[in-house]
């Protein structure tokens, strides 16, 4: 069957092993100093390992591969002595190789009640949007757009504004914005687009906002690699948002 699956570039891989614990299924191992896929049926193709590779050696492709097998994953994890993920009930996958409850920690189904808030008197006036340009999708923005000149750039994973309630007030105000999803889109394209953006625009600062889930690290890696490739020296800030909307990391 043709499905999404991880591909590891042996030429780029330095055997650091950061991808190994990022794979909940234990599908990646280090062999002869390189990361390798243990078996096709152990890889769910969701790419939780993407953002953990400092060499950008991992990507998700579509090719002929055995169907993902949760039973084989559980047996494999028991053999290598790693905990077996608790899977939620899943709908039939109709041969597409996708599953719902396990795999990438960032795709695991969870429910939680909204945080309790103290009542705040309403002024009756809607809060204004702080968005200052359009479009915002990284695929669509022109790298030579005038709003990038002398701009403080905010690069956000597209789940961030939904998770962090005060995104507009705390982070977007006064910045140019691009958004993308490092799990569902081509992270190599993001890196190339950002490289060009940094080269042709006079960006004053870069803030990258990601979710705390492992696969979201891909957007940070794309931005860092693009900055290095551009040859520019631009102040760089990384902000991590928890799935409950709190800021769990903020480094410059």
Residue 124 falls inside a structural domain: no
Residue 129 falls within a domain, yes or no? no
The answer to whether residues 92 and 167 belong to one domain is no
Rounded CA gap, 156 and 209, in Å?
5
| pLDDT single digits (tens) 124-133 | 667 889 999 9
Residue 138 lies in a domain: no
Q: List the structure tokens of 5.
A: 């699956």
The residue range of the domain holding 220 is 146-251
User: What is the mean predicted confidence (pLDDT) over 228-238?
Assistant: 96
In a domain? residue 155: yes
Instruction: Check: CB of residue 48 under 8 Å from CB of residue 86.
Output: no
Q: Which range among 19-23, 146-150, 243-247 shows the weakest confidence by mean pLDDT? A: 19-23
CATH of the domain at 212: 3.40.50
C-alpha–C-alpha distance, residues 47 and 188, integer Å: 14
Question: Is 122 among the domain residues?
Answer: no
Q: What is the number of domains present in the chain?
A: 2
Mean pLDDT taken over the chain: 84
Give percent of the chain above pLDDT 90: 51
Return the DSSP state at 2: E
Same domain, 165 and 74: no
Whole-prediction pTM: 0.64
27 and 81 together in one domain: yes
Q: Would residue 153 count as lying in a domain? A: yes
Give the count of alpha carbons within 13 A of 91, CB side only.
3
Considering the domain architecture, whether residues 150 and 244 belong to the same structural domain is answered as: yes
Residue 118 counted as domain residue: no
pLDDT tens digits, one per residue of 83-119? 775 544 433 343 334 444 445 555 554 545 555 555 5
Angle, alpha carbons 57-159-102 (nearest 5°): 65
């Amino acid at each position: 069957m043709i499905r999404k699956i991880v591909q590891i570039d042996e030429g780029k891989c330095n055997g650091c092993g950061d991808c190994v614990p990022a794979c909940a299924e234990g599908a990646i191992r280090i062999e002869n100093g390189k990361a390798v896929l243990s078996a096709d049926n152990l890889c769910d193709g969701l790419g939780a390992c993407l953002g953990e590779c400092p060499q950008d050696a991992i990507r998700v492709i579509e090719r002929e591969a055995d169907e993902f097998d949760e039973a084989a994953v559980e047996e494999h994890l028991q053999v290598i002595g790693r905990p077996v993920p608790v899977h939620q009930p899943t709908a039939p996958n109709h041969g597409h190789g996708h599953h719902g409850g396990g795999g990438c920690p960032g795709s695991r189904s969870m429910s939680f009640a909204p945080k309790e808030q103290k009542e705040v008197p309403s002024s009756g006036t809607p809060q204004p949007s702080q968005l200052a340009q359009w479009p915002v999708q990284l695929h669509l923005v022109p790298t030579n757009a005038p709003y990038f000149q002398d701009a403080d750039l905010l690069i956000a994973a597209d789940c961030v504004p939904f998770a962090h309630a005060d995104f507009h007030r705390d982070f977007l105000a006064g910045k140019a914005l691009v958004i993308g999803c490092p799990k569902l889109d081509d992270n190599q394209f993001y890196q190339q687009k950002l490289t060009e953006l940094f080269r042709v625009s006079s960006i004053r600062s870069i803030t990258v906002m990601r979710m705390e889930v492992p696969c979201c690290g891909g957007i940070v890696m794309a931005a860092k690699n693009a900055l290095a490739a551009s040859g520019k020296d631009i102040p760089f800030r990384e902000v991590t948002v928890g799935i409950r909307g709190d800021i769990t990391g903020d480094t410059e």
